[in-house]
């Protein structure tokens, strides 16, 4: 991964494994179910995370203030926003 600004779309598995293990150790000690790397998503920020969730839900409508160019791009390509 040296020299890249962004990680791969699916994430970095060792990082996701480490986050799941840390979360289980701190917050799920007494729980039967434990999180795995497949339950972890690493995103560059809150807005990016919300957009990824909306994309999984298919035709979801998000209302948020975006710069005109980004709003137009999302509207044209993903149909995620409804002004």
- For tokens 């999180």, name the residue: 35
Domain ranges of the chain: 1-42, 50-83
The span from the CA of 7 to the CA of 10, in Å, is 8
The whole-number pLDDT of residue 78 equals 65
The whole-number pLDDT of residue 81 equals 45
Task: Encode pLDDT of 66-77 as tens digits.
Answer: 556 666 666 666
Task: Encode pLDDT of 7-64 as tens digits.
Answer: 777 788 999 999 999 999 999 999 999 999 999 988 877 777 777 777 777 666 656 5
The whole-number pLDDT of residue 9 equals 73
The whole-number pLDDT of residue 14 equals 94
Neighbours of 50 (CB within 10 A): 15
């Amino acid at each position: 991964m040296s020299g890249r600004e962004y990680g791969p779309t699916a994430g970095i598995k060792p990082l996701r494994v480490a986050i799941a293990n840390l979360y289980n150790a701190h917050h799920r000690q007494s729980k039967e179910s434990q999180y795995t790397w497949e339950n972890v998503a690493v995103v560059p920020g809150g807005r990016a995370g919300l957009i990824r969730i909306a994309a999984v839900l298919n035709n979801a409508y998000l209302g948020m203030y975006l710069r005109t160019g980004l709003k137009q791009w999302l509207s044209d390509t993903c149909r995620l926003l409804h002004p």
